[in-house]
Structure 1
Amino acid sequence: MNYQITINRANTVDEVEESWTNEDYIKLLEKFDYPDAEDADASSLRELLFMAISDFEPKDAAAIVLEYKLSEDLNEGQIQQISNDMLLDKVCEEYPEIGLHSTLFHINQLLFKAYNGTFPNAKATIVECSLAPAEGENENQLTKESILKLLNNGLSGSNLIKRLFDSQMSENAPFPEAEDILWDVKTTDNVNYTIMTSEYWLSKDDIIASEFEGVLEIVVDAE
C-alpha cells in the first residue's frame, strides 16, 4: 500500500516527566530514607526526591533507582555494574539489550537532573507526523515496525537504524527490533502519530525530507 508521509515537527528533549508518577516519587523517597513521603504535597514530591537523592553518592543513588525500576530484568551484579558505568557513559544508548534503553534513559535523566549534570546528558527525539494511505483509510493503528518502514525514505543514509537494519527497513522482512527502537507511539485517528525514541536511534538531523512517499507491504515470515 502506498502512503504519503508528512513530518510536521521533530523535537529533541532531555526528559519525559510523565514517565515518573507521584507513586514512583513516593516509593523512591521511601527508598532514599525520606520519612512520611505519602503525606507530602504532590506538587513537591519531585523536588523532595532530588533533595533526598543528593544525600547519597551518585553511584549508590543510581543503584537504588535501577533496583526500583529494573529488578525483574537485571541481577544485583548487573545493577552494580551499570550504576558505575552510568557516571561515565550513556548506558541508555550503549546497553546491548535495547529493550531496556527506554527505562535506562528515564533513570539516567532523573539522576542527571537530581545531580545537576554529574551523569551524562542523554536525549530523546519526539516526532509528530502523518502517515496517510494514498487510497482508503487506516482502519487500525500502524505497528512500530510499519511506522519505521514508512519513515525510511525520509531518513538520511547515515541514520543508525538504516545502517544497522537496512534490509528490515527497505525490504519485506520482519523487523521485531522496531518494538524496542520506538519507545512510544500515540495516535487518535490512525493517521496522525506522535512517536518517541532515543536521539541515538533517530535525531532531528536524520530527517532529510518533510514530505515523501512510502510503500508498506505485508511482511511474510520465512518458514
Structure 2
Amino acid sequence: MKYTIKIHKVSTVDDLENSWSAEDFKELLVRFDFANNDVNDLKELRELLFMAIGDKEPNEAAAIVLDYKLGTVLNEGQIDSLSYEMLVDKISEEYPKIELHKTLFIINQLLYKAFNGKFPNTKATIVDFEITPSRNADTTITKEIVLKCLAQNLDRHNVIIRLFSNQLNADEAFIEANDIIWDLEKKDTTYRLTTSDYFMSREEFINDEFEANIKFFEGD
C-alpha cells in the first residue's frame, strides 16, 4: 500500500499536557501525608505536591508515585527496584515492557522536576503530519500504518529500524506499534503522534515530504 506523507512539525518536549489531573495530585498528596482539601487549582496542587515530594528521599518518592500509577501492574518488589533504578537509568526508555513506557515517562518527568534534576531527564517527540492514501491503500489510518510509513523517512540508525526490521518488512505482526506510538490524534486534515524521543527523535527525520510503500504481515 502506498501513502504520501507531509511533515509539518517535529517537536521535542520534556512534558506531556494533561498528564496529571487535579484528582491525581490530590490523591498523591494524601499518599504523601500532605493532603489539602482547600486547594483545587491544578498549579497550586502541583506546587504542594512538589513540596511533599521534596520531603522524601528520591527513591521513597518514586515508590509512592509508581505505586499510584502502576500498583495494579507491578508488584511491590518491582516497584522497589524501579524506584532505585529510575535515579540512574532512563527507565521509560529501557524497561522491557513497551506498554509501560508512556506512564514511566510521565512519572519520571514529574520526579525530575520535583527534585530539580536528580532523576535523568527524558524527552518525548510530537509529530504533526498529513498522510494521504493512494487509491488502493487503506483509508483507516492506524498506528501501524503511520509507524511503517515514518520509518522509511528516518535515519538508518534509528532504534525502530534496528529493533523491528522484521515487523517493518511484514515478516512478523507489528503489535508493538500500538505501544511505540503513545497517542495518535486526528485534527481536521492532519494527524499528531506522540512517542518517546528514544524511538523517534527530531534529528532522525530526513525529508519533509515523501512517499512510502508498506506491507502487512499475512499470518495464519
Identify whether the pair has TM-score above 0.5, normalized to the shorter chain.
yes
Match for residue 177 of structure 1?
A: 176
Unaligned segments of structure 2, at least 5 residues: none
Match for residue 101 of structure 2?
A: 101
% identical equivalent positions: 49
Q: Deviations over 1:14-35 (max 9, x none)?
A: 1113111111011001111113
Q: Indicate conservation of the 8 Å contact 1:132/1:138, yes or no.
A: no
Match for residue 83 of structure 1?
A: 83
Aligned length: 219
1:1-223 paired onto structure 2 within 5 Å: 1-35=1-35, 37-42=36-41, 43-135=43-135, 139-140=139-140, 142-171=141-170, 173-189=172-188, 191-217=189-215, 219-223=216-220
Q: Indicate conservation of the 8 Å contact 1:123/1:199, yes or no.
A: yes
**RMSD, matched Cα:** 1.7
Distance, in Å, in 2 between the alignment partners of 1:184 and 1:76 is 29
Distance, in Å, in 2 between the alignment partners of 1:134 and 1:62 is 48
Task: Give the secondary-structure state (helix, strand or coil) at the position aligned to 1:78.
Answer: helix
Task: Give the secondary-structure state (helix, strand or coil) at the position aligned to 1:209.
Answer: coil
Distance, in Å, in 2 between the alignment partners of 1:172 and 1:187 is 29
Amino acid at match of 1:222: G
Amino acid at match of 2:82: I
Unaligned segments of structure 1, at least 5 residues: none
Q: Indicate conservation of the 8 Å contact 2:170/2:217, yes or no.
A: no
Task: Give the secondary-structure state (helix, strand or coil) at the position aligned to 1:74.
Answer: coil
Q: Deviations over 1:113-146 (max 9, x none)?
A: 0010010000111111111123489753x11111
Are residues 99 and 47 of structure 1, via their aligned partners in 2, closer, same or farther at CA, if it must alter by over 3 Å?
same
Larger displacement relative to structure 2 (37-46 or 99-108): 37-46
Deviation at 1:52, TM superposition (A): 1.0
Q: TM-score normalised to the size of structure 1?
A: 0.93
